[in-house]
């Protein structure tokens, strides 16, 4: 038997299963790492979404308050401003 035939046989019978076994182990670890990274990213994204929702809710509440001020008190405030214009200016005293 020639040496290259023996070497080829040895690589196929022993080397290939060892390489595939180690490679599958490395691939499994890499895949597990990617899954953990995806879970961490999902948790972070969910947290940011909750923060944005809370911020949006606060802004909506402020807008509601401003709308209420404008619609409820807007006319009354305008009337008060107009009534102040009607009041004669008071002088500080005799000159």
> Does any domain span residue 40?
yes
pTM of the model: 0.46
| Backbone φ, ψ for residue 91 (5° rounding) | -90, 155
- The pLDDT value recorded for residue 95 is 46
Q: Which domain holds residue 53?
A: 16-77
> Does any domain span residue 84?
no
Q: Which two tokens stand for residue 42?
A: 């999902």
Q: How many CB atoms lie within 10 A of CB 64?
A: 10
pLDDT tens figures, 37-79:
999 999 999 999 999 999 999 999 888 887 877 776 666 777 7
Rounded Cα distance, 12 and 6, in Å: 10
Q: How many CB atoms lie within 10 A of CB 95?
A: 4
> Does any domain span residue 83?
no
- Total number of domains constituting the chain: 1
Q: Which residue has the tokens 């953990």?
A: 36
pLDDT band at 2 (very low <50, low <70, confident <90, very high): confident
């Amino acid at each position: 038997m020639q040496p290259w035939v023996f070497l080829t046989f040895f690589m196929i019978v022993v080397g290939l299963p060892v390489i595939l076994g180690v490679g599958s182990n490395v691939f499994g670890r890499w895949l597990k790492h990617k899954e953990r990274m995806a879970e961490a990213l999902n948790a972070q994204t969910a947290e940011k979404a909750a923060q944005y929702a809370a911020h949006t809710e606060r802004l909506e509440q402020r807008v509601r308050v401003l709308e209420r001020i404008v619609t409820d008190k807007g006319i009354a405030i305008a009337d008060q401003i107009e009534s102040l214009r009607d009041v004669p200016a008071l002088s500080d005293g005799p000159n």
